[in-house]
Structure 1
Amino acid sequence: MRFSTQTLLLQLAVVALVALLSGAVHAWLTYDRLGREAENQALTLARTVASDPSVRAAVQSISALPGTPPASELLVGPLMAVAEGARARTGALFVVITDEAGLRLAHPDAERLGEKVSTDPSEALSGREVTTRNTGTLGPSAGAKVPVFAPGSATVVGEVSVGYSTETIGQSLARDIDPIALTAAGALLVGILASFLLRRRLQRLTLGLEPEEISTLVHDQVAVLQGVDDGVIGVSADGRISVFNAAARRLLGGPDLAGKPWAEAPVPARLLALTRADAAEGDAVELVAGGRVLVASARKALHGREDLGWVVMLRDRTELQQLTRQLDAVGTMSTALRAQRHEFANQLHTIAGFMSMGQHQQARDYLAGLAATGPLKFPVDQAELLQDPYLQAFLGAKGVEADERGVTLRLGPETLVRGRVTEPQEVTTVLGNLIDNAVNAAVAGAATERWVEVEILDEPGVGTGGAGAGTLHIVVGDSGDGLPAAAGTAADPDAVFAEGFTTSERPARAGAGQGLGLALARQLARRRGGDVRLLDPGSPGGPGAVFVATLPGTTSDSIRRDDNA
């Protein structure tokens, strides 16, 4: 049997039991109330009869006799007439008058006259009024006993006992039982209806699932959501965050937002826009959060025709982009090597020709020139200002790539790096984004001579033993037309660092990361305590925009200190 069916039957049983008990209690209270009313009515009638002067005188005169008159005399006596008259007027079951010994002087049954009463008269004969419920010779009754006092005296000479049949009380209860039964039936029907409505609501809230199925789903949800590397955010139909797994907290770099309103969540605006009513379901967007490049997508969650809200998925592309950038650099260097292969062959042929002709001095001069310039010559002006091999290789590869696009990459005269780069990935991300943007701007610019100038200066740090973590200062400028005035950089220099900002007129390719480079570079720099900012927006016709970056803790000056030693 389904849990919802068991719950319904249990509720119906409880409602029926409550209705039955309520009806029974109501009936009992009604019966008790009718019994008390009969007792009070009997007490009133008994007092009336006992206080009648003729009754008091007649009972006193009979009590003074040495014996009790015969039944035939009592039957036609005044007491019998008074008692029967009162009984006939009030509908009482009996009105009995006795003497001081409890012998009947008046009774509805003539054969009982002169006999002792069947119930104990001692309390009434001792001068106290009592109400009773007992069964006598005439059947069960609710009544009262009242003492009869001698005229002008406090001496008890007899008693008056009045009773109303409990069968009459039962008949009155039978007349009142219909409303009680209707009330109980109405309560039962309301309870049944409420139980059915509660069952439907329970099924709707649990989507028709049984408790065992819900428990299994909870365990599966915890296992899946906490075991995947992708961030999962569940937004309920009422706009609250119902699921926020550990991967989402790690990727967004914030606290647990479960239970918070989704519209007020401290997440990027582009992530909130995925769940708008006019958003295209399934579209993926790239955004920057917590120093990471994330790909986010959102889909509607439906169960049948019921709208359960949204499911937002987050995937980390930071490492993939870093690897892609490194592979691009390797590919660029490979292209440069292939391009200079013929030059190497020509150089070898030249040396062989000098040797075969006996021109040894010319051969030595030629080899000296090769030794001075190196076997490979990257198209980067003043590359000798860099002593870090990583920066040399990276800027050399960027120089080859820029040269293929007709742009000269050069180092500024203030460039001086004597330490070693200790955080190459972050330096590559920041420097690579700035150079790529500058090359694109130079290519799109109107200047005849296209160039990108980079100045890099390392500031030594202070550490134990004289070898501390230094700061790398980077300045990148270009020959482009500068940032357009429509971008609003004059009023707000930080506008270029907003996610999605781009000056390219070509549409962005899906997953290309366009419009995220500057935002990512700034977040990485600020995470280290540095910054990336716009120094000069440039002007039409050139020179172009100038960006400056500060990267603390990315170099080591240990080499410099070792050389000085």
Structure 2
Amino acid sequence: MFPRRPRTGQGRRLSTRILASQVAILAVTSVIGFVLFAWVQRGQLDNEYEQRAMSIAQVAAADPQIVQGMVAPGDRALVQPAAERIAEAAVASYVVVVDLNGVRYSHPHPDLIGQRISEPLVVLDGQPHGGIDQGVTGRSANGKAPLRDPSGKVIGEVSVGITESKVAGQLWHELPTFALYAGIALCLGCAASYALARRLKRSTFGLELEEIAGLLTDREAMLHGIREGVIAFDPAGRITVVNDEARRLLPFDAALGLRPEDVLPEGRLRDALDGTLTGHDLTVLTDRYCLVVNRMPVGLHGRELGAVVTVRDRTEMVGLLRELDSVRGLTDALRAQQHEFANRMHILAGLLDLGEHDAAFEYAVESAGVEPALTESVRQRIGNPLMVGLIVAKSTVAAERGVRITLTEESRLGEQPAHLHGLLTIVGNLLDNAVDAAVSGTTTGAAQAEVRLSLLETGTAVTVQVADSGPGVPDDAMESIFQDGWSTRPDRGTARRGLGLALVHRLVRHRGGTITVSSGAGAVFTVTLPLSDTAPADGDRPGQAAPFELATSGGDRW
């Protein structure tokens, strides 16, 4: 559950605020829409009554009594009764008949009959006309039609008006229906707003606005402030969050919205991120770092929200642990040599006490020449002192475990060989693996567990070959032996297994070389590092980051 924050501000719930805001918006828009609709409807009613007035005017202009009254001067008295009859039948406010001179022959106010109208005639073109009239009877919807004699000649004009009160009355009669529809729409909108507010409330897991804003602030501060890579995935497996540390440790450029297979090549790292590999504290090697990856599914209230992957940089720590384990191995060897030296001193003291001076002298000369002979034998073939020291140290440690390391006669390495730093890591890890394999069981018929090392530098490449008398690589492990974390033996001391061979593989690949391993009893690892211009001797390949090199100790094999 998310932690609750004290509510600030108005203190109203998120759903209440959303509902109130939406209801207010709906109410305002409904009122505005109602007013606009009434205004449009008013315009339509005006136009409708104008057409109605023109129709009445055309009917009046065709009335025989009005035509006779306008044609025969003696029958002019017939016009007013006919106009009143038509106005009453059509429920019009007035029917006014005028001649071409604008003189009225009918009007709802009898005292205006015989007087001229103020505006000019508009029907001289022979067409009916409509509009809004601001006459003596008030504002009216007006329609005018030409009055013709029996021959079709325009002899006057008939003007019919319908007062504004009738138009407004019609509008007020229709508005309640419109208001009912607006009210129904408002109620439906409020119900939808309420449902939306409840859904948003569930989507935010009951958090209020201030709590959501606070969580966002905390999340940004936490994600970008911690020294641990964090990657979040949605239920579909797409990357949604990558903090700064994750971008530093992983080759992510624009990863948001993509899946691991879209941004990473096939390998252990991608399998650890997408959940193909399961388990805790998965060790993954990249070209620059040794990482510990953990993936944890995330859910809330029974809903699957995706997963969160944490990535920790353990490069320095693993290097130190392996170096510490190496130092412990050397310490054990020195301690054993101390006991051996004490035994030799006891033998010398016993021989001298017995008076066997010649025997004591021969034993002392023989004992003193063992270690120098080993070092001198290596120096005759290996010119670089760092490599000599590594081989001698590994030989001493291996001897204490009952394993003999021999350097082949054809081995040759100069004082400054190409890929020196990589060679030291490669040779050290391969020797450790070979010693472990030889200790686990000798199956090649040798009297003693043995490891053979060959170092050969030519004009085109440096070749390293390490063979042991152990049981060999299982057939089913040939494809996975160089993967991160692969090992058939448990961790020894502080050293984590499953890193040495993977590191060797990356170093060789980074330098453009090859590495192979034989099948069957007695494994033989062969590494070839080219000396061509395309393979850097000791440094970074252009455009690539140099892989890290851990201290060489502890084997990775069975």
TM-score where L is the length of structure 1: 0.75
The corresponding residue for 2:527 is: 549
SS in 2 for 1:523: helix
Corresponding residue to 2:296 among 296, 299, 302: 299
Deviations 1:203-244 (A, max 9, x none): 566666677766666665555444544332211222111123
Q: Conserved in 1, the CA contact under 8 Å of 2:66 and 2:83?
A: no
The corresponding residue for 1:330 is: 327
C-alpha spacing 1:401/1:113, structure 2 compared with 1 (3 Å): same
Take 1:457 and 1:40, find their aligned partners in 2: how far apart are those partners?
111
C-alpha spacing 1:357/1:316, structure 2 compared with 1 (3 Å): same
Corresponding residue to 1:484 among 474, 491, 494: 474
The corresponding residue for 2:435 is: 439
2:133 maps to 1:134: yes
C-alpha spacing 1:484/1:374, structure 2 compared with 1 (3 Å): closer
2:29 maps to 1:18: yes
Question: Which letter maps to 1:49?
Answer: A
1:546 offset after TM fit, Å?
0.6
2:503 maps to 1:520: yes
The corresponding residue for 1:316 is: 313
1:360 offset after TM fit, Å?
9.1
| Identity level (%) | 34
Deviations 1:174-231 (A, max 9, x none): 3432442233234434443454455456556666667776666666555544454433
Matches for 1:202-217 after TM superposition, within 5 Å: none
Matches for 1:109-128 after TM superposition, within 5 Å: 112=111, 114=113, 116=115, 120=118, 122-124=120-122
Q: Which structure ranks higher in relative contact order (CA pairs < 8 Å, sequence separation ≥ 6)?
A: 2
Q: Conserved in 2, the CA contact under 8 Å of 1:329 and 1:397?
A: no
2:234 maps to 1:236: yes
Take 1:114 and 1:511, find their aligned partners in 2: how far apart are those partners?
123
Take 1:425 and 1:88, find their aligned partners in 2: how far apart are those partners?
117
Unmatched segments (≥5 aa) in structure 1: 462-469, 556-565
Deviates more, 1:35-44 or 1:83-92: 83-92
Q: Conserved in 1, the CA contact under 8 Å of 2:121 and 2:157?
A: no
Take 2:24 and 2:383, find their aligned partners in 1: how far apart are those partners?
89
Deviations 1:525-545 (A, max 9, x none): 2112223222x2234xxxx11
C-alpha spacing 1:296/1:428, structure 2 compared with 1 (3 Å): farther
SS in 2 for 1:340: helix
C-alpha spacing 1:402/1:96, structure 2 compared with 1 (3 Å): same
Q: Conserved in 2, the CA contact under 8 Å of 1:418 and 1:458?
A: no
C-alpha spacing 1:182/1:8, structure 2 compared with 1 (3 Å): same
Q: Conserved in 2, the CA contact under 8 Å of 1:427 and 1:554?
A: no
Corresponding residue to 1:538 among 508, 520, 536: 520
The corresponding residue for 1:259 is: 257
TM-score where L is the length of structure 2: 0.76
C-alpha spacing 1:226/1:135, structure 2 compared with 1 (3 Å): closer
Deviations 1:39-71 (A, max 9, x none): 222222222222334322312434xx7xxx9xx
Matches for 1:125-524 after TM superposition, within 5 Å: 129-136=128-135, 138-152=137-151, 154=153, 156=155, 158-196=156-194, 199=197, 221=219, 224-253=222-251, 255-262=253-260, 264-266=262-264, 269-274=267-272, 283-290=280-287, 292-303=289-300, 305-345=302-342, 372-374=369-371, 385-420=381-416, 426-442=422-438, 443-446=440-443, 447=445, 449-457=447-455, 459=457, 472-487=462-477, 489=478, 494-502=479-487, 504=488, 513-524=496-507
Q: Conserved in 2, the CA contact under 8 Å of 1:251 and 1:290?
A: no
Take 1:246 and 1:333, find their aligned partners in 2: how far apart are those partners?
40
The corresponding residue for 1:92 is: 92
Take 2:401 and 2:365, find their aligned partners in 1: how far apart are those partners?
32
SS in 2 for 1:122: coil
Q: Conserved in 1, the CA contact under 8 Å of 2:446 and 2:469?
A: no
Q: Conserved in 1, the CA contact under 8 Å of 2:237 and 2:274?
A: no
Question: Which letter maps to 2:179?
Answer: A
1:284 offset after TM fit, Å?
2.2
The corresponding residue for 1:467 is: none
User: Larger Cα Rg: Structure 1 or Structure 2?
Assistant: 1
